Amino acid sequence: MVEIKYVVKRNGSIVPFTPERISNAIYRAAVAVGGRDRETSEALAAQVVEQLEAQTPQGVNPTIEQIQDLVEKTLIENGHARVAKAYILYRDERARQRDKRAESDQLPSSNIPWAKLWSVLDWSVEHSVHTTAALNEKIRKNELHQIVTAAEAAYNEDVENAANMVLARKNEVRMVFIAGPSSSGKTTTTIKLGEKLAAEGLNLVTLNVDHYFYDLDMHPKDEFGDYDFETPQALNMALINEHLVKLFLGEEVRIPYYDFKTGRSLPDHTPMRLKKNDIILIDSLHGLYPEMTEDIGAEMKFKLYIEPLLQLKDSKGAYARWTDIRLIRRMLRDAAHRAYDPTQTLLHWHYVRSSEMRHIIPFMHTCDTIVSSAMPYELPLYKVKLGAEFKRWSETFAGDPLRQDAYQRALRLNDLFNEIEAVADDTIVPENSVIREFIGGGIYKY
C-alpha cells in the first residue's frame, strides 16, 4: 500500500492529492438528495482513499477519473444508491460541459433570450456603444453622460413594463419573484418594482429567503475551506414552500433568523401573517427554482428574470461576457459590504458560475419578463477600480493548475480592459442607479 501524494488532472497536469475533495464531493451529492451527514461522507471518503492506496502501484499517480470511479463504486456498495446517482449525474453533466465548451461561459442555446438580446443590441448600435472603439469615442468626445441618461432610461422602462404586467394580473398574482444570477441587480430592481407597485395601491411584503439558510456547518465546502452558498440546497427549500402555503391559507408562520456572523439559524424567530391584499415580494438567486414554490399555483406567481445583457464587441469581434460584468460587480460589493478581498471573490466565482449553469439559467425560460441591468458606461468606471488587479491576477495565476478558472477570467478581463478607456469620475452615476448597488453612494439601503 502506498501513500497517494499527487493526482493527474484531465488536462495532464499533476496536482497535490487532497482527500477532503473526495469527502466534500460525496457530501455535496448527499445534500442534493436531502442528506446532511458529514461524518458518513468522511467515512466513505476514507474507504475510497484506502482502496485507492491499495490499488495504485508504487510511483504511479492516479487520475481524477480513477478516483471518481472508486467513489461511485464505494457509494453503491455501501447502500447509498441515491447519492451515487446524484454523484454520477453531476459527473456526467460536467463531462458534457467540458466536451461542448471547455469552460466557456456562453448560455445553452435553448436558454438564450433572443428577442430581448436583439432589442438590447439594436439599442447599443443606435447609441453607438456596441464596440469598444465606439464606446471609447463617446468617452473622448465627452459624451458619456448622454449614454448614462439613455441607458438608465432603458433600464427603468424595463422595470416599468414589468410593473404594468403585474398590475394587469393583480387579481390573481400573490407572489412576485425577482430572480437572476449573482450581482445582476436584483435588489435595486426589487426596490424599484416595489415602489411602482406600491404607488398603484398594492401591499408588498418582502420575504427574505436568506433567513432560510441551513447552518454553516451543514454546507458543502472545498479543500480551500470555501463554503458553497450558491447552491439552492444551501436553503431549506421545503420550509420555504411550507411557509408560503400556510401564508396563503391565512395562517401565521414564524420565519427563521440566520445570523451571518455565527453561521447559525435560529428557528421560529419572526412571526409573519399576510393581510387579504398582500403580495409577497421575493428577491432570490433561486426564485425560478421549482422546489421553492412547488405547491403554489402557477397563476399566483409573477417571475422577473434579470441579467446585464450587455452587447459590446471587442476588437476581435468577441462580446463582453455577462458573467464577467457580474464578477466585477460582486467584487466591488463584497469589498464594500462584506469585507472580502476581491481575490477571494475571484477564487469563489467557480462555485457561483457552476450553480448558475445548473440551478438558475435552465429555468430562465419560465419567467414572465426579462430586465437588462447592463449599463454600457460601467466598464470604463470599473477599469479604474479593478483594472490593475485583473492584470496582477492574470500574472499571478498563470501556470497554476489549481487556479485555472481564476486565471482564465482574469486574463479575459485584463484583455478587455486594455481596450477600454478609463473613467475615474463615478459621479456620473445617478444616485438611484442599479450600479450604485455595487459601487455605493446610492439612495437605497442594501
CATH number for the domain that contains residue 360:
3.40.50.300
Other C-beta atoms lying within 10 Å of the C-beta of residue 93: 13
Among 66, 101, 136, the domain boundary falls at 101
Do 82 and 228 sit in the same domain of this protein?
no
What pLDDT is attached to residue 65?
83
Flag whether 173 is in a domain: yes
Among 66, 85, 101, identify where a domain stops.
Answer: 101
Q: Are residues 310 and 386 in the same domain?
A: yes
Q: What is the largest CA-CA distance in the chain?
A: 74
CB-based contact 165:369 (threshold 8 Å): yes
Please report whether residue 1 resides in a domain. Answer: no
User: Among all chains, which residue has been given the C-alpha cell 398603484?
Assistant: 200
Q: pLDDT band for 26, please (50, 70, 90 cuts).
A: confident
Q: Work out the pLDDT band at 224, boundaries 50, 70, 90.
A: low
Radius of gyration of the chain (CA): 23
Among 68, 85, 101, which residue terminates a domain? Answer: 101
pLDDT (mean) for 397-420: 94
In a domain? residue 349 = yes
Same domain, 59 and 159: no
Contact (CB, 8 A) for 440 and 427: no
Question: Cα–Cα distance between 192 and 87 in angstroms, integer?
Answer: 41
β-bridge partners, 304: 178, 369
CA distance 323 to 330: 10
In a domain, 445, yes or no: no
pLDDT of residue 222: 57
Same-domain pairing of 45 and 181: no
Q: What is the mean pLDDT of residues 241-252?
A: 95
* Selected residue with higher pLDDT from 337 and 141: 141
Question: 115 with 147, same domain?
Answer: yes
- pLDDT at 128 (0 to 100): 96
On whether both 159 and 96 belong to a single domain, the answer is no
Lowest mean pLDDT among 69-83, 122-136, 290-304: 69-83
- Which domain range does residue 51 map to? 6-101
Question: pLDDT category, 296, cuts 50, 70, 90?
Answer: very high
Residue 169 has pLDDT above 50, yes or no: yes
Mean pLDDT of all residues in the chain? 87
Angle among Cα 185, 190, 359 to the nearest 5 degrees reads 60
| Residue entry with cell 420575504 | 207
Residues recorded for the chain: 446
| Residue 444 belongs to a domain | no
61-70, 94-103, 325-334, 400-409 — which one is most confidently predicted on average?
Answer: 325-334
The dihedral built from the CA positions of residue 24, 26, 32 and 37, taken in this order, carries a sign that is negative
Q: Are residues 177 and 260 in the same domain?
A: yes
**What DSSP character marks residue 35?**
-
Question: Does 446 fall in a domain?
Answer: no
Same domain as 379, residue 278: yes
Number of domains in the chain: 2
HSE at residue 422, side-chain half, CA atoms within 13 A, is 11
Q: Which residues contact 364 (CB under 8 A, 6 or more apart)?
A: 111, 113, 288, 305, 307, 370
User: What backbone torsions phi and psi does residue 257 show, to the nearest 5 degrees?
Assistant: -125, 125
The three-class DSSP label of residue 170 is coil
Residues 119 and 67 in one domain: no
Helix H segments across 318-377? 322-337, 342-355
Would you state the cell numbers that stand for residue 150, as one nine-digit string? 439613455
Mean pLDDT of 283-295: 87
- Are 87 and 191 within one domain? no
- Which amino acid, 420? I
